[in-house]
A and B are shown apart, each in its own frame.
Chain A
Amino acid sequence: MSELPPIPRPEQQPLPPAGGPRRIVLPPHRERARRPRSVRAREWVRRNLFPSWRGTLLTALAAGVLGLIAAGVIAFVFFGANWEVITHNRWLLFAGGFPREEAWRLWVSIAVVFGLIGLAYGTWSSLGRRDHLFVLLVGGFVIFLMAHGGAEIWSSVYFLIAVGCMYLGYLLTYQLPRATSSLRTLQVRVVGGLLILALPIVLLLLLVGGDVGIRSLDGFVLNLVLAPVGIVGGILIGIPLAVGRASSLKSISWTCTAYIEIVRGAPLLGWLFVALFILDDIIGGDLIIRAMVVMAVFTGAYMAEYIRGALQALPRGQYEAGQAVGLNQWQRTRLIIMPQALRISIPPMVGQAISIWKDTTLVTVILPLRELKGNADSAISQFEFTPDRIEAYVFVAVIFWIVAFMMSRISQRVERAQGVGER
């Protein structure tokens, strides 16, 4: 191994003479020599991949395994698989029985959501190289899917417009100055307000007027509606439950505890059967609405526990400072405790959100052949596609992964942006 160039160090400053005024004298700032990039790269590779003969062996092993898997995947994706099961059933998988002449509602909804994501990114964070790469990959994937022959070529144009909306929103907000606090406050309020309104707006677009209704939701669109309804409903249920469980009034605290423990005690699948068989007699309504209620109720129990954990993590001084300022209990909860508790509980709540996103596939049990996975089942039940079940399920898995990964990335950004002013 070749000798590495010595690391430059600033010279030691002599201590100031004793007895004089005690001032800390820092050495003058100077440009420190950097090692050339090629040396640094070589050093990085050596340290992280080949630190010793054992390390080298393990790296080689890992590379071998990864290589085998990659070769298998590439062989399957590009040569072995018959993707016609997907391209032929694009609309079935995407929106199923949603009326085609109302498809504009889907595209406008997607554009609205994408635009809002852009606004939010511009307000609280910034897009990095990896984000652009992710958009490029997903965009390419979707456009390849859409443009692969057939009448839905326009769909890729619509999708591109939606992505454009995202970048437009991003540029709009990212350009705004961040220094002036009053403008910044206004921006945060407007974008925050729009985000809160997003779900009602999208539901309005998808469900009201024309030839559509709750029964039109089908395919991937159904998953895309079920999950946010479950998550938002869950948070709305979870907040009062958490506060209630922490209440000193035992009747309230016991009721909330009972709710949480009972709901968490059974799997979501069980509660979906409750929706199917029992809620029918009690609240009736469309099965999709019952499924939404169950998902919100189920998620609420988990959200409540995460928020309660955050409430307990808050220092007691925060409650006392609120009391000392003269705020009443409701004001303390709303203005001081909840904002901090919700911030602390973002990571576990996102975990729960990703989990409920994937669990939307369970709805297939009570609503057969409706959501994405169910429609994949019906795609492979077509005579000519019966051998292509792996392709269909791989596709479904990739779609779920894309959305889950997006959620996790966005939550990381939210956490970082919220870190301002953290203790």
Chain B
Amino acid sequence: MPDERSPADIIAESAGPKAAVATDRSPSAEPDELSPRLANARDMIVTEHVDKWFGDFQALDDVTLNIKEEEIVVILGPSGSGKSTYIRCLNRLEEHDAGRIVIDGIELNEDVRAMQAIRSEVGMVFQQFNLFPHLSVLSNITLGPQKVRHVPKLEAEALAMQLLERVGIPEQADKFPAQLSGGQQQRVAIARALAMQPKIMLFDEPTSALDPEMIKEVLDVMQELAESGMTMIVVTHEMGFAREVADRLVFFDEGALVEQGTPEHFFTNPREERTKLFLSQIL
């Protein structure tokens, strides 16, 4: 596309005449233009010019993206585009090589204590669930609160039962992960992350390893969570979820943030050729 405007300009334009005044040429959009309900929210996640290399391969290329408190961001992109790497950098499962990441006012750097503080504020749900197979469902959920937050056992268990109610499977508390279906396991994984009472939840393709009939039960839980005011970043290919729940969609390709905007913008009027191509392939 012979267009030299940055995605920010594109989004600003697409968001309406008022936004067109924005002259910031950084790829980060102004989220308040995108979703009025977040107009006065503070920045929960700040990422500026983040690079990440795996050997010779550049996984993230100058990614700048700020996310507001209570915002729901869905990240799209082909495989290998860096979207998982990006959210893994946010709780330092990967270390970024350049740029700045600030989570809720704490900068991610070599400081191990900062890292621990952030990990207990950021919950993560994995594609492969990654439940602890040797622990019961209940112990999977209570482990973090008991060991990291030093919550007394009974209190942690009461909280875990509440969370299991919330994700709809309190009757599975005493079972082991291998005895549950994929959808149930993923819901336990969500409950485990929530047990740390995080301010931010990261979802790394949470439904990609599920059988089709189980996807909905997990998405329902995520939607309920989104409505409860959690800040969420979701890497997914579930376009229905993206359209209904997200405040903002972000499209990654080859490690770079290519385009971002409201779901409406993405599904009616994407500007970048690569975005159009990608959407035409998966819709």
Residues of A near any B CB (own CB < 8 A)? 181, 315, 317-318, 320-328, 331, 335-336, 339-340, 343, 420-423
**Whole-angstrom CA separation of A336 from B176 in the bound complex:** 14
Q: Does B85 make an interface contact (CB < 8 A)? A: no
Q: Is B131 within 8 A of A324, CB to CB?
A: no
Q: Does B116 make an interface contact (CB < 8 A)? A: yes
Residues of B near any A CB (own CB < 8 A)? 91, 93, 116, 119-120, 122-124, 126, 128, 130-136, 143-144, 147-148, 174, 176-179, 192-193, 196
Q: Is A320 within 8 A of B132, CB to CB?
A: no
**Whole-angstrom CA separation of A374 from B178 in the bound complex:** 51
**Whole-angstrom CA separation of A328 from B149 in the bound complex:** 12
> What are the residues of chain A within 8 A of B136 when measuring CB–CB?
181, 421
Q: Is A318 within 8 A of B93, CB to CB?
A: no
Q: Is A324 within 8 A of B124, CB to CB?
A: yes
**Whole-angstrom CA separation of A331 from B148 in the bound complex:** 9
**Whole-angstrom CA separation of A421 from B177 in the bound complex:** 6
Q: Is B133 within 8 A of A340, CB to CB?
A: yes
Q: Is B126 within 8 A of A317, CB to CB?
A: yes
**Whole-angstrom CA separation of A321 from B136 in the bound complex:** 15
Provided the pairs A320-B126, A421-B179, A422-B178 are in contact, do residues A326 and B116 lie with their beta carbons within 8 angstroms? yes
Q: Which residue of B lies closest to A179 (CB)?
A: B174
**Whole-angstrom CA separation of A420 from B178 in the bound complex:** 9
Given contacts A318-B130, A324-B91, A331-B148, 18 further A-B pairs with CB under 8 A are A315-B130, A317-B130, A321-B132, A322-B132, A324-B119, A324-B124, A324-B126, A325-B119, A325-B143, A325-B192, A327-B144, A327-B148, A331-B147, A336-B132, A343-B134, A420-B176, A421-B135, A422-B178
> What are the residues of chain B within 8 A of A335 when measuring CB–CB?
143, 147
> What are the residues of chain A within 8 A of B116 when measuring CB–CB?
326, 328
**Whole-angstrom CA separation of A381 from B93 in the bound complex:** 68
> What are the residues of chain B within 8 A of A340 when measuring CB–CB?
132-134
Report 26 cross-chain contacts, Cβ distance below 8 Å, ordered by A residue. Answer: A181-B136, A317-B126, A320-B126, A321-B126, A321-B130, A323-B91, A323-B93, A323-B119, A324-B122, A325-B192, A326-B116, A326-B196, A327-B147, A327-B148, A331-B147, A331-B148, A335-B147, A336-B132, A340-B134, A420-B176, A421-B133, A421-B134, A421-B136, A421-B177, A421-B178, A423-B177
CB distance from A351 to the nearest CB of B (A): 22
**Whole-angstrom CA separation of A245 from B136 in the bound complex:** 30
> What are the residues of chain A within 8 A of B135 when measuring CB–CB?
421
Q: Which of A322, A325, A340 has the most CB of B within 10 A?
A: A325
Q: Is A324 within 8 A of B93, CB to CB?
A: yes
> What are the residues of chain B within 8 A of A317 when measuring CB–CB?
126, 128, 130
> What are the residues of chain A within 8 A of B131 when measuring CB–CB?
321
**Whole-angstrom CA separation of A423 from B134 in the bound complex:** 9
Provided the pairs A317-B128, A318-B130 are in contact, do residues A326 and B179 lie with their beta carbons within 8 angstroms? no
CB distance from A183 to the nearest CB of B (A): 12
Q: Is B126 within 8 A of A318, CB to CB?
A: no
> What are the residues of chain A within 8 A of B192 when measuring CB–CB?
325
- Ranked 6 nearest A-B pairs via Cβ: A421-B176, A321-B130, A317-B130, A326-B120, A325-B144, A324-B124
Choose from A181, A325, A421 the contact partner of B148 (Cβ within 8 Å).
Answer: A325
Choose from B93, B124, B174, B177 the contact partner of A181 (Cβ within 8 Å).
Answer: B174
> What are the residues of chain B within 8 A of A331 when measuring CB–CB?
147-148
